[in-house]
Amino acid sequence: MKRSGSNQNQSCVHSSTPISPPPPLPLHSFEVLRRTPLNRAFALVYATAISALLYRHTLSLLSGSATTFFSFSLVSFSLLLSDAVLAFMWVTEQAFRMRPVRRKVFIENLSRVVDEKNFPALDVFICTADPFKEPPLRAINTALSVMAYDYPTDKVSVYVSDDGGSQLTLFSLMEAAKFATHWLPFCKEFRIEERCPDAYFRSTHSCAQTEKMKIMYGMMKEKIESVMERRGGFVNDFISSDHHRQAFNKWTPGFTRQDHPTVIEVLLDSGTDKDVTGRAMPNLVYVSREKSSSWPHHFKAGALNVLLRVSETMSNAPVVLTLDCDMYSNDPRTPLRVLCHLFDPVVAPKLAYIQFPQRFHGIDKHDIYGNEQKHLFQLNPMGSDGSAGPNYVGSGCFFRRRSLFGGPFSFLSSGVLQLQAKPIMSATPSALSHHVASCTFEHATDWGYKMGFRYGSLVEDYYTGYRLQCEGWKSVFCNPNRAAFLGDVPLNLTDALTQNRRWCVGLLEVGFSRYNPITFGIRSMGLLMALNYAHYAYWPIWSIPITIYAIVPQLALINGLSIFPTMWDPWFYLYWFLFLGAYGQDAIEFTLAGSTIQRWWNDQRMWLIRGIGQVASSSYNIDEEAYI
Ligand SMILES: O=c1ccn([C@@H]2O[C@H](COP(=O)(O)OP(=O)(O)O[C@H]3O[C@H](CO)[C@@H](O)[C@H](O)[C@H]3O)[C@@H](O)[C@H]2O)c(=O)[nH]1
Ligand SMILES: [Mn+2]
């Protein structure tokens, strides 16, 4: 079953050729999971069992006796409806089980295939929106962790989008830029694996070498925290350079989060800025796009599109990484793993993105709020990876910039500004950079509809990945043992439910749009991939069967109606099989993917709680959640 990605064409070499050239070194390989044939056979058996169950419900619906006709039909109908919904969800879920694959990359072969000076440049986009919900200290840790990638520094540019338009974020980034000139050489000199400073100092016992760095980090942290406490007042007291002070002049009295001009600040310029050992620094750019209450801002998708354009006027890298500010890089060699896919001539032409799973730190031992989301972030993507590839999950994803500007075979040149040569960074961003970050720039253009990150759903990530795959693009799931990125999770039940609700609203927006996976999806991407996407688009409807099953059996019991077969009835075996079969298979998959039974159990618990939570949440306010 093992195949090497770059060797796919080698089998056609004629066997009688006396001396055939040595096969090129593989950069990656994949294997189809051994359980695949079992999955398929089980799906067949289980499908038969589900059909029998639906048949039984239909029979009993038709045979209601006259006296109890009304209540009986109502009960039978609600059970039929519930089980039909569950059956639909089961069908869509099977798409992930038909061909799950596991991939490997061989970074060690990279240097023999491509020279470091030919590595593509990398633009990293980090989104943040509210300094009080997402502390700037977290955002700068994310920025520092990627600036310290094991990648030619002059090829890395980090763009931080601040949708909150906050002086606190800008100030923190200025501090981070100074700290980075010490942190980057320190990481490289001592070969530090953990390049997110906060995580590093939390996990390392100090010694003489680290002590100096730790003190420096502590001072920066204290400074940022004290500015945070004063809510930005007196920022000026902490700033020594005139140039930096000028940047804050944009914050005039009329400046609010909803209404303000564009602010773009180049905080580090790889052409001129050097670290303390004299080596080039990566570029670091702060971007707060123009906001006006009379123009739509399209939330995170809008922010990402501004970054796409602003970066095009500056570094214009062909590879773009999107990250949320609460998710830091945990492995400095991640971009090299990405190159292993991008430099495969067989896969590359249709490859739009490489998605790493969202993995989290700070989850309690038994994960009581089901935050690990193992199906969503690890199991299901392995399943999609066997066909056209996983969906985009918003963070930890490397795009080919080109893929956001039309299908794989369209002749659009990458980028809408169509800049010819690679523009040069400059300490004073050009008028063009400001122009492309303005509210009106997208008016009457294809941005968000045919180009860039797509508008129309609160889950812009899912929707964008879906539309790209409809255009014929492929994606790859990369899940190395050492997590490539680690994020924060909601730490309480309210946050977990709020997040879940926002996702559900966004998914249904896609499920009931003209681009829904059933009518549009099947036509564009085939049945199997469309089912992958339908699984999520209609995911929120699982609250229907859960609610019915939470109410109807009790009512039936009180009214003396028997709705389940007795133990001596042959139908009982069917219920037994359906119940144990589904739970058993799920528990096995979960634990085989490196989790525990307790975590699985809590995942099940949260599945119910989230489902009921949908129903109980009519007072939901999207705008408040989505940081207007
Ligand atoms: O108007 C906005 C709203 C949000 N964000 C940023 O978007 C990111 C994600 O928002 P968050 O509220 O943290 O959503 P989560 O539910 O935690 O995030 C998951 O779900 C989102 C929507 O599907 C994806 O975008 C994320 O990548 C994914 O981690 C954060 O970095 C925000 O700063 C903006 O930049 N502008
Ligand atoms: Mn988040």
Question: Is pLDDT of 68 > 80?
Answer: no
User: Is the minimum distance from the CB of 497 to ligand 1 under 6 angstroms?
Assistant: no
pLDDT of residue 622: 44
Rounded to the nearest 10°, the torsion over CA 543, 545, 547, 549 is -150
What pLDDT score does 243 carry?
Answer: 78
Q: Is 109 a member of any domain?
A: no
Q: Which of 492, 526, 561 is the last residue of a domain?
A: 492
Q: What type of residue sits at position 318?
A: P
| Rg of the chain over all Cα atoms, to the nearest angstrom | 27
Q: How confident is the model at residue 10 (pLDDT cuts 50, 70, 90)?
A: very low
Instruction: Give the integer Cα–Cα distance in Å for 393 and 377.
Output: 8
At 8, the pLDDT band (50, 70, 90 cuts) reads very low
Query: Would the annotation count 364 as a binding residue?
Result: no
Which residue's CA is the nearest one to ligand 1's atom 22? 459
For residue 34, how far is its CA from the centre of ligand 2 (angstroms)? 34
Does 2 belong to an annotated binding site? no
pLDDT at 415 over 80: no
Distance in Å, CA 557 to ligand 2 centroid: 43
Give 82's DSSP letter. Answer: H
Q: Atom 18 of ligand 1 has which residue's CA nearest to it?
A: 394
For the Cβ of 125 lying below 6 angstroms from any atom of ligand 1, the answer is no
Domain match, 430 and 533 both? no
pLDDT of residue 5: 45
Give percent of the chain with pLDDT exceeding 70. Answer: 89
Residue 541 has pLDDT above 90, yes or no: yes
In this model, does residue 543 exceed pLDDT 80? yes
Check whether residue 434 and residue 537 sit in a common domain.
no
Ligand nearest to the CA of 301: 1
Q: Of all residues in the chain, what percent carry a pLDDT higher than 90?
A: 73
- Give the pLDDT confidence of 383-392 residue by residue, as tens digits: 999 999 999 9
Would 187 be classed as within a structural domain?
yes
pLDDT band at 623 (very low <50, low <70, confident <90, very high): very low
Amino acid at 424: I
pLDDT at 151: 97
Greater pLDDT, 136 or 238: 136
Looking from the CA of residue 326, the nearest atom of ligand 1 is: 31
Residue 53 forms part of a structural domain: yes
Tell me the ligand closest to 496's alpha carbon. Answer: 1
Q: What would the mean pLDDT of 3-13 be, rounded to a whole number? A: 41
**Where does a domain end: 429, 460, 492?**
492
User: What would the two tokens of residue 275 be?
Assistant: 């670290």
**Binning pLDDT at 50, 70 and 90, where does residue 563 land?**
confident
Distance CA 452, CA 403 (A): 9
Domain for residue 105, yes or no? Answer: no
For residue 349, what are its two tokens? Answer: 């032409």
pLDDT band with cut points at 50, 70 and 90 for residue 24? confident
**pLDDT confidence of 238, banded at 50, 70, 90?**
confident
DSSP-assigned letter for residue 303: H
Question: Among 225-234, 336-345, 370-379, 480-489, which stretch is predicted with the lowest mean pLDDT?
Answer: 225-234
Say if ligand 1 is within 6 A of residue 304 CB. Answer: no
Closest among 338, 332, 337, 336 to 191, alpha carbons compared: 332
Same domain, 471 and 587: no
Annotated catalytic residues are 163, 461
Q: What is the mean pLDDT of residues 225-240?
A: 76
- Give a yes or no: residue 143 inside a domain: yes
What is the model's pLDDT at position 490? 76
Model pLDDT for residues 112-150, shown as the tens digit of each residue: 999 999 999 999 999 999 999 999 999 999 999 999 999
How would you classify the pairing of strands 351-355 and 474-477?
A: parallel
State which of 127, 159, 369, 462 you would mutate to test the pocket of ligand 1, scoring each by most atoms of that ligand within 8 A of its C-beta. Answer: 127
124 shares its domain with 225 = yes
- Ligand 1 pocket residue status of 324, Cβ below 6 Å: yes
Q: What is the pLDDT of residue 70?
A: 56
Same domain, 532 and 606: yes
Q: In terms of domains, do 375 and 345 share one?
A: yes
pLDDT for the residue numbered 427: 54
- Cα 445 to middle of ligand 2, angstroms: 29
Whether residue 64 lies inside any domain: the answer is yes
Residue 333 gets which letter from DSSP?
T
pTM of the model: 0.92
> How many angstroms separate the alpha carbon of residue 490 from the centre of ligand 1?
13
Answer whether residue 414 shows pLDDT above 90. Answer: no
Look up residue 442 and give its two tokens: 């997208």
365 is in an annotated binding site: no
CB of 322 shorter than 6 A to ligand 1: no
Element (H, E) at 567: none
Name beta bridge partners: 476: 354
Residues 82 and 191 in one domain: no
- Mean per-residue pLDDT for 222-239? 79
Kindly state if the Cβ of 323 falls inside 6 Å of ligand 1.
no
The reply to whether 294 and 423 lie within a common domain is yes
Atom of ligand 1 nearest to the CA of 325: 31
Cβ(274)–Cβ(134) under 8 Å? Answer: no
Residue with CA closest to ligand 1 atom 1:
299
171 token code pair: 């100030």
281 plus 245 within the same structural domain: yes
Q: What distance in angstroms lies between residue 491's CA and the mean position of ligand 1's atoms?
A: 16
Residue 340 sits in a domain whose CATH number is: 3.90.550.10
- Return the residue whose CA atom lies nearest to atom 26 of ligand 1: 394
Residues 384 and 430 in one domain: yes
- pLDDT bracket for residue 430 (50, 70, 90): confident
pLDDT of residue 582: 95
Question: Of 492, 527, 556, at which residue does a domain stop?
Answer: 492
Query: Per the structure block, which two tokens stand in for 441?
Result: 């720039």
Could you tell me the two tokens for 126? 């980090």
Same domain, 431 and 376: yes
In a domain, 114, yes or no: no
Instruction: Please work out whether the CB of residue 30 comes within 6 Å of at least one atom of ligand 1.
Output: no
Q: Give Cβ neighbours of residue 40 (< 8 Å, ≥ 6 apart).
A: 97, 98
For 288-308, the pLDDT digits (tens) are: 999 999 999 999 999 999 999
Residues linked to residue 162 through DSSP beta bridges, in sequence order? 128
- 538 neighbors 532 (Cβ within 8 angstroms): no
Closest C-alpha to ligand 1, atom 13: 324
Any binding-site annotation on 133?
A: yes
For ligand 2, the distance from its centroid to the CA atom of residue 224, given in whole angstroms, is 22
- Select, from the ranges 51-65, 75-89, 195-209, 547-561, the one with the highest average predicted confidence (pLDDT): 75-89
Taking the centre of ligand 2 as the mean of its atom positions, its distance from the CA of residue 172, in whole angstroms, is 20
Q: What's the rounded mean pLDDT across residues 416-421?
A: 50
Residue 189 confidence class, pLDDT cut points 50, 70, 90:
very high
Amino acid 417: pLDDT:
57
ipTM of the complex: 0.98
Q: Identify the DSSP state of 475.
A: E
Determine which of 220-234, 268-282, 348-362 has the lowest per-residue pLDDT on average: 220-234
**Ligand 1 lined by 300 (C-beta under 6 Å):** yes
Nearest protein Cα to ligand 1, atom 12: 626
CB 385 within 8 A of CB 100: yes
For ligand 1, is residue 275 a contact (CB within 6 Å)? no
pLDDT at residue 13 in the model: 37
Number of domains comprising the chain: 2
Long-range contacts of 42-49 (CB under 8 A, 24+ apart): 42/581, 42/585, 43/94, 43/97, 43/98, 46/90, 46/578, 46/581, 46/582, 47/91, 49/574, 49/577, 49/578, 49/581
Which ligand neighbours the alpha carbon of 623 most closely? Answer: 1
Tell me the average pLDDT across 319-329.
97
Please tell me the residue having the least CA distance from ligand 1 atom 14.
499
How many angstroms does the Cα of residue 362 sit away from the middle of ligand 1? Answer: 19
Distance 360 CA to ligand 1 centre (A): 15
Q: Residues 177, 53: one domain? A: no
Q: Tokens 């709705």 map to which residue?
A: 563
Residue 175, classed as helix, strand or coil, is helix
Report yes or no on 24 lying in a domain. no
* DSSP-derived 3-state class of residue 428: coil
Instruction: Evaluate: CB of 461 within 6 angstroms of ligand 1.
Output: yes
Q: List helix spans (H) across 449-570.
A: 460-470, 493-511, 522-537, 543-558
pLDDT band per the 50, 70, 90 thresholds, residue 527: very high
Provide the domain limits for residue 463.
Answer: 120-492
Query: Of residues 188 and 617, which shows the higher confidence score?
Result: 188
> Which mutation among 142, 161, 166, 300 tests ligand 1's pocket best, with the greatest number of atoms within 8 A of CB?
300
Across 64-68, 261-265, 553-557, 572-576, least confident range: 64-68
Average of per-residue pLDDT values in the chain: 89
Question: Is position 324 annotated in a ligand binding site?
Answer: yes
Residue linked to tokens 């569950």: 86
* Greater model confidence, 363 or 71: 363
Helix 299-314 to helix 460-470 angle (10° resolution) is: 60
Which among 324, 486, 508, 509 is the best mutation to test ligand 1's pocket, defined by most ligand atoms within 8 Å of the CB?
A: 324
